């Protein structure tokens, strides 16, 4: 057991390809957890262990790996940087006490970094930055540092600087103490140099001055003394950096080159010395109740990730915010059910490390617990604590899916349910209007990986296609019609006549039925049948087979027969009335319009706005978020079904977007002709 004040929960976050997993693998190696330096490219990564990750050579899910460093436990949470899998990065922020941002010295500050920076600020946890890949060609510490300050402000404060760059990277210097550590690429730790190299001395001095200025600006008394020429002592600087991190006033910057092990040992020391302990973490967002991080207090834990394993079952990763969870404890969920914490263990990649108890602040997992899913609060019986759910990004891309074998329909349904439990950024919907099962996610890669996992884990292969667009029809003119149903077959016949007046309604107001029958022209018990028949006919469409909306139907007269009239007769009369009136109603096609919000670097603004216009969209406005441009537009749904692919191509993967249904609009005549013609061909094929 490790005491809560000796635990460090650290989420490695940042843009895809910034070196997060390589850094985590280097930490595991330097700490002695692994006997060789794991690599994503070679398939030897402890953290990227799923077949889909090894095939694509990118992280697709968060992975947890605890390491021991001088009696401290560091729970590393490696997260995906690819935008399609940002849901796991959001979940990691909830479990962590520090967000450590990996920023490539080659590529600088990228969109994914900015988005996760805002997410960490919303979550209210401290942030630090580690500049990676300083040994690569075109790497630049100075350029990257300037970008960090430009995007995130003056609170960016380097506590380390590199000694050399690119192929000449030799080590690093600690800014507060001025000590220099040199690395030979073989030893796990750096060697303390007797004195700084001449070429590094100026950089150390300049950065030291900048760090001191960042520190004294957090304390008025210290600032006054600094103006008088009195610089704070090194131990005071260290204490103020730690305090400034907790308060979001200082964002320390470190340096590294994982393949050469440069800065890996000093990163571990920094996490132990500077990163907040669970006892210092701000309380997570609560929906009800209160909690304090006390090991002997009532249990309050949060399930931040679910892994569905076809052999082990459901594995729930949780973070304990208060109390201590012991094996075989009975806890309560926020849904009110009781669960027994039987199989407790820590995860290290895919390895299970059994444990008897999980103390306040620690991260662990439990298997085969029914009624526990991502977002579940686990608490002591009688507690009213409910930890708020993680604000996941909404799906932006959809696929219609069908099993290749009809015999796999039930298996597919069960597999989709498991996938949603594992990944809350997925959504599944059965659309009765198009008779399709639609899987929605954060992009084409996200959906492709999900279907690969379904095939691998559950043995279900599927066919995919773009979902049918849920067009609607409406009318632009009023008309009256007689709906008549008469059938005589010998014996009792069928007879019903309904006179119906149809009129357009305002957009979005839907269908309205008006009963204006007087004098018993149609018996009261048959009027609902007329309504039912009209709705049935409108559902089938009058132009291209799409449901008719925004229409009123007023039945104002009719005829009946005392013997032959019944509900069926008047339902058929309602259908006939629609058919009779259709040619005079001037029907038009409506298409769904979505609201599109796109976040891009400024240099792509022209391309993106031009593409929106080409997609028949209307730009509603443009705003600024940090260094990003935010474009809001209305675009036909039919034009953005593959927008995740289009935007990635236009912006080299640096753009992100959100999309949500907004309203229906009339389709332009030329486009409507194409849709109607396609609907006609589909009808002929059936």
CA 352, 355, 358: angle at the middle one, nearest 5?
A: 115
Per-residue DSSP letter, 526: G
Give 663-678 pLDDT, tens digit per residue: 999 999 999 999 999 8
- Chain position carrying tokens 């000449």: 168
Q: What is the pLDDT of residues 478-510, one digit of tens each?
A: 999 999 999 887 777 899 999 999 999 999 999
User: For residue 177, how many C-alpha atoms fall within 13 Å in the half-sphere facing its CB?
Assistant: 12
Pick from 12, 7, 131, 30: nearest CA to 78: 12
* 467 has pLDDT over 90: yes
What radius of gyration do the chain's Cα atoms show? 32
Summarize the confidence of residues 360-387 as an average pLDDT: 93
d(CA 427, CA 431): 13
Q: Which residues contact 225 (CB under 8 A, 6 or more apart)?
A: 216, 232
d(CA 319, CA 306): 12
Each residue's pLDDT tens digit, 603-638: 999 999 999 999 999 999 999 987 789 999 999 999
Identify the residue whose tokens are 């990227």.
Answer: 48
Chain-wide mean pLDDT for the chain?
Answer: 92
pLDDT at 684: 59
Q: In what order do the strands lie in the sheet with 160-163?
A: 160-163, 171-174, 180-182, 191-192
pLDDT at residue 685 is higher than 60: no
% of the chain exceeding 70 in pLDDT? 99
**Structural contact between residues 664 and 593, judged by C-beta atoms closer than 8 angstroms:** yes
CB 253 within 8 Å of CB 156: yes
On whether the CB atoms of residues 609 and 595 are closer than 8 A, the answer is no
Helix (H) or strand (E) holding 119: helix 111-123
Structure tokens that stand for 140 in this block = 């630049």
SS3 category, 285: coil
Structure tokens at 368: 């085969």
Residues facing 441 on adjacent strands: 397
pLDDT tens per residue across span 532-552: 999 999 999 999 999 999 999
Q: In what order do the strands lie in the sheet with 462-465?
A: 427-431, 436-441, 397-403, 462-465
* pLDDT at residue 683, as a whole number: 60
Query: Predicted confidence band at 412 (pLDDT cuts at 50, 70, 90)?
Result: very high
Q: How confident is the model over 92-137, as pLDDT tens digits?
A: 999 999 999 999 999 999 888 988 999 999 999 999 999 999 999 9
pLDDT in tens, 551-590: 999 999 999 998 899 999 999 999 999 999 999 999 999 9
Q: What is the DSSP letter of 678?
A: H
Return d(Cα 284, Cα 280) in angstroms, integer.
Answer: 12
Domains and CATH numbers, the chain: 4-280 (3.40.50.300), 286-387 (2.40.30.10), 397-465 (3.30.70.870), 473-585 (3.30.230.10), 589-673 (3.30.70.240)
Question: What gap in Å lies between CA 87 and CA 378, rounded to an integer?
Answer: 21
- Per DSSP, the three-state class of 595 is strand
State the DSSP string of 392-424. PPPP-EEEEEEESSGGGHHHHHHHHHHHHHH-T
pLDDT of residue 391: 93
Q: Of the given ranges (22-36, 224-238, 393-407), which has the lowest mean pLDDT? A: 224-238
State both tokens at 470: 């849920």
pLDDT tens, residue by residue, 145-193: 999 999 998 889 999 999 998 999 999 999 888 889 999 988 999 999 8
C-alpha to C-alpha distance for 41 and 256, rounded to whole angstroms: 19
- Per residue in 218-260, pLDDT (tens digit) is 888 888 888 888 888 888 888 888 888 998 889 999 999 999 9
Distance CA 67, CA 93 (A): 19
Angstrom distance (rounded) from CA 254 to CA 274: 12
More confident residue, 57 or 194: 57
User: Pairing relation of β-strands 351-354 and 397-403?
Assistant: unpaired
Q: Are 572 and 515 in contact (CB under 8 A)?
A: no
Stretch among 262-276, 320-334, 488-502 having the lowest mean pLDDT: 488-502
Confidence category of residue 334, pLDDT binned at 50, 70, 90: very high
Q: Please tell me the distance from the alpha carbon of residue 239 to that of residue 597, in angstroms, as a whole number.
A: 42
Structure tokens at 385: 């604590």
- Residue 655 near residue 598, CB atoms below 8 Å: yes
pLDDT computed for residue 62 by the predictor = 94
CA distances from 102 to 17, 93, 124, 164 (A): 9, 14, 19, 19
Tell me which of 92-106, 135-149, 195-209, 438-452 is least confident.
195-209
């Amino acid at each position: 057991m490790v005491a809560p004040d000796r635990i460090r929960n650290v989420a490695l976050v940042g843009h895809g390809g910034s070196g997060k997993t390589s850094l985590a693998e280097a930490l595991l190696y330097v700490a002695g957890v692994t006997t060789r330096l794991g690599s994503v490219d070679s398939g030897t990564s402890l953290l990227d262990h799923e077949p889909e990750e090894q095939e694509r050579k990118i992280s697709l899910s968060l992975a947890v790996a605890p390491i021991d460093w001088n009696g401290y436990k560091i729970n590393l949470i490696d997260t995906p940087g690819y935008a399609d899998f940002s849901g796991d990065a959001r979940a990691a922020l909830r479990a962590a006490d520090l967000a450590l941002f990996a920023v490539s010295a080659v590529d600088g500050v990228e969109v994914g970094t900015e988005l996760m920076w805002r997410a960490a600020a919303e979550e209210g946890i401290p942030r630090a930055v580690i500049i990676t890949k300083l040994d690569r060609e075109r790497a630049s510490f100075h350029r990257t540092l300037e970008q960090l300050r430009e995007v995130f402000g003056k609170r960016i404060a380097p506590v380390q600087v590199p000694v050399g760059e690119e192929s000449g990277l030799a080590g690093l210097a600690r800014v507060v103490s001025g000590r220099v550590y040199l690395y030979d690429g073989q030893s796990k730790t750096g060697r303390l140099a007797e004195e700084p190299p001449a070429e590094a001395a100026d950089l150390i001095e300049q950065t030291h001055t900048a760090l001191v200025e960042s520190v004294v600006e957090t304390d008025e008394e210290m600032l006054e003394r600094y103006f008088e020429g009195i610089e704070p002592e090194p131990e005071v600087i260290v204490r103020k950096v730690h305090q400034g991190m907790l308060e979001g006033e200082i964002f320390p910057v470190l340096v590294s080159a994982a393949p050469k092990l440069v800065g890996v040992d000093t990163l571990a020391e920094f996490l132990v010395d500077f990163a907040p302990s669970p006892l210092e973490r701000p309380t997570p967002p609560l929906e009800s109740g209160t909690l304090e991080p006390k090991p002997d207090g009532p249990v309050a834990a949060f399930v931040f990730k679910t892994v569905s394993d076809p052999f082990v079952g459901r594995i729930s990763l949780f973070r304990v915010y208060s109390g201590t969870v012991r094996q075989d404890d009975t806890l309560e969920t926020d849904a009110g059910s009781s669960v027994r914490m039987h199989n407790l263990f820590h995860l290290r990649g895919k390895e299970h490390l059994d444990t008897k108890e999980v103390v306040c602040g620690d991260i662990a997992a439990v298997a085969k617990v029914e009624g526990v899913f991502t977002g579940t609060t686990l608490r002591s019986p009688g507690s009213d604590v409910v930890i708020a759910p993680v604000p996941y990004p909404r799906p932006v891309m959809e696929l219609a899916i069908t099993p290749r074998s009809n015999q796999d329909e039930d298996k597919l349904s069960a597999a989709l349910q498991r996938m949603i439990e594992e990944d809350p950024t997925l959504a599944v919907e059965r659309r009765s209007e198009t008779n399709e099962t639609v899987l929605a996610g954060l992009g084409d890669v996200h959906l492709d990986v999900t279907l690969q996992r379904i095939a691998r884990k559950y043995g279900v292969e599927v066919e995919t296609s773009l979902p049918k667009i849920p067009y609607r029809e409406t009318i632009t003119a009023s008309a009256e019609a007689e709906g008549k149903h008469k059938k005589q077959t010998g014996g009792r016949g069928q007879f019903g006549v309904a006179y119906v007046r149809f009129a357009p309604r305002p957009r979005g107001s839907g269908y309205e039925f008006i009963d204006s029958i007087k004098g018993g022209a149609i018996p009261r018990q048959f009027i609902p049948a007329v309504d039912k028949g009209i709705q049935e006919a409108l559902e089938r469409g009058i132009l291209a087979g799409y449901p008719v909306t925004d229409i009123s139907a007023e039945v104002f007269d009719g005829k009946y027969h005392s013997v032959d009239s019944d509900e069926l007769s008047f339902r058929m009369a309602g259908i006939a009335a629609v058919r009779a009136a259709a040619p005079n109603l001037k029907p038009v096609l409506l298409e769904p319009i979505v609201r599109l919000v796109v976040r891009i670097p400024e240099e792509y603004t022209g391309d993106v706005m031009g593409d929106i216009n080409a997609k028949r969209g209307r730009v509603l406005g443009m705003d600024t978020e940090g260094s990003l441009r935010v474009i809001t537009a209305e675009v036909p749904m039919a034009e953005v079904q593959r927008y995740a692919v289009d935007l990635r191509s236009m912006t080299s993967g640096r753009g992100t977007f959100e999309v949500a249904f907004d309203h229906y609009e009339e389709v332009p005549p030329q486009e409507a002709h194409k849709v109607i013609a396609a609907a006609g061909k589909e009808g002929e094929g059936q």
